[in-house]
Amino acid sequence: MRLTDKVALVTGAAKGLGRAFCLGLAREGARVMAVTRRDMDNLEQTVKMIRSLGGEAEMVQADVASEDDARTMARETVDKFGRIDILINNAAIYDGIKRKPFFEIDLKEWDLVMNVNVKGAFISARAVFPFMKEQGYGKIINLASEVFFTGSTGFAHYVASKGGIIGLTRALAVELGPYQVCINCIAPGFTDTEASRGLADVSKYDVSKTPLRRLERPEDLVGAALFLASSESDFMTGQTLLVNGGRAMH
């Protein structure tokens, strides 16, 4: 197993992509700290699923946009497992966003999206960095999106936030590299998750422009995450992997 004795912290872990990442990490031997802001029932279910596989997992409630919460989740991870090797910044505002022309987007909604999607990743990376620096090793994986490369009508704030994630990743790659901490991005396409189903009828998604001719599933992203979390990617940092069935190419 590629991640035996490693410890992973995953935000937005209650369901969807976050749950898939947690399960994939656990199958490869990692001990997992699962984090969410409010969906504690589903977070508990994620932990139970990991334990049913014979894995080790704990959970903590935290708002990634709060510096105090981010420090708490990092500290609790170290208190429970002794270290932090992997951070997956998966938490993001996506579910419930209504498409609107950019001139109709409420500025409070703009600020919320940026606060969670960009500032949250920044704060979370800063919270785990002291532990990774002390170890002289770490892997941080940020979630961007295909829409950064294609644009998306009515989603200006979300698209901008995912562009911000890619910029943040590149900037931190330069700063974290001397400490042997690698930071990279995964950019999914439109994926069949609970959040996506709340946004659109996924059964009507046009896959004709996707070379692989099907809708993306959460498990399609796990392989890329495991590669970036493992020693196999130790000489890779500041990069963005598009995992979207070829719908956009980079």
Residue 191: per-residue pLDDT = 80
From 158, 180, 162, 175, select the one nearest 89 (Cα to Cα): 162
Tokens encoding 80 = 């429970």
Question: Is 195 a residue whose pLDDT tops 90?
Answer: no
Task: Quote the pLDDT of residue 94.
Answer: 79
pLDDT tens digits, one per residue of 148-193: 999 988 899 999 999 999 999 999 999 999 999 999 999 998 886 7
Quote the pLDDT of residue 207. 82
Confidence of residue 98 (pLDDT cuts 50, 70, 90): confident
Please give the mean pLDDT across all residues of the chain: 93
Residues assigned a catalytic role: 158
pLDDT: which is higher, 139 or 94: 139
Phi-psi region of 196 (alpha: psi -120 to 50; beta: other; left: phi over 0): alpha
The b/e string for 14-34 (b: 16+ C-beta within 10 A; e otherwise) is bbbbbbbbbbbbbbbebbbbb
pLDDT tens readout for residues 22-61:
999 999 999 999 999 989 999 999 999 999 999 999 999 9
Nearest to 141 by CA among 58, 61, 233: 233
Tokens standing for residue 181: 């901490």
Residue 239 clears pLDDT 90, i.e. is over it: yes
Taking residues 142-149, report their average pLDDT. 95
Give, in order, the Cα–Cα distances in Å from 133 to each of 7, 19, 200, 242: 15, 27, 42, 28
